[in-house]
């Protein structure tokens, strides 16, 4: 079951994201940041337990980012990540957004969902305010992908 995250989910979301961030597979998010943006998060609940999460971050009037996608390792390969991203795309359509992008290391996964590789230069400068805080800036090795809705 996919649902919007609630405050009690924040620590579970943080734990999921931190596990992958430690391996360099995604950017870390502080617990306070998760609390501040909890309305942007979805969770995947399986057998009463939160096993996945994703965030839809609105960037501009016609653009959003799928970020912080994580599924517990023991649940990988079951389609939970795909369903989480699809929930974000449905919300983006409902909001009237025209494009959704992701910065990722998982090109094949996002390609299967209809995303295409784009040049980072296609993204508005406003996006780069988050990048400046990243330890990998300016040598980012993430792949920019987008889908037009």
Q: Across residues 45-70, what is the average pLDDT?
A: 95
CA–CA dist 63, 100 (Å, integer): 6
Q: Which domains does the chain have, with CATH numbers?
A: 2-148 (3.40.630.30)
Q: In what order do the strands lie in the sheet with 99-104?
A: 2-4, 41-46, 49-60, 63-71, 99-104, 143-148, 116-117
pLDDT at site 140: 67
Residue 78, classed as helix, strand or coil, is coil
Q: What is the pTM of this model?
A: 0.90
pLDDT at site 73: 92
Mean pLDDT of all residues belonging to the chain: 90
pLDDT at site 123: 80
pLDDT digits (tens, 9 = 90+) for 83-102: 999 999 999 999 999 999 99
User: Which residue, 75, 70, 119, 69, is CA-closest to 89?
Assistant: 69
pLDDT digits (tens, 9 = 90+) for 16-37: 999 999 988 888 899 999 999 9
pLDDT at site 137: 54
CA–CA dist 33, 3 (Å, integer): 19
The confidence band for 133, taking pLDDT boundaries of 50, 70 and 90, is low
CA–CA dist 76, 5 (Å, integer): 20
């Amino acid at each position: 079951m996919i649902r919007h995250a609630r405050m009690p989910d924040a620590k579970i979301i943080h734990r999921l994201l931190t596990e992958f961030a430690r391996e360099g597979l995604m950017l870390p998010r502080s617990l306070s940041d998760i609390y501040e943006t909890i309305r942007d998060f979805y969770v995947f609940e399986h057998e009463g337990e939160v096993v996945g999460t994703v965030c839809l971050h609105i960037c501009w009037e016609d653009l959003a980012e799928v970020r912080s996608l994580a599924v517990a390792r023991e649940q990988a390969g079951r389609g939970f990540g795909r369903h989480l991203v699809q929930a974000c795309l449905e919300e983006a359509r409902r909001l009237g957004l025209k494009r959704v992008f992701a910065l990722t290391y998982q090109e094949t996964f996002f390609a299967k969902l209809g995303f295409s590789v784009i040049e980072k230069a296609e993204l508005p400068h406003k996006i780069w305010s988050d990048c400046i805080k990243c330890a990998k800036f300016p040598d980012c090795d993430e792949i920019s992908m987008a889908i037009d809705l």
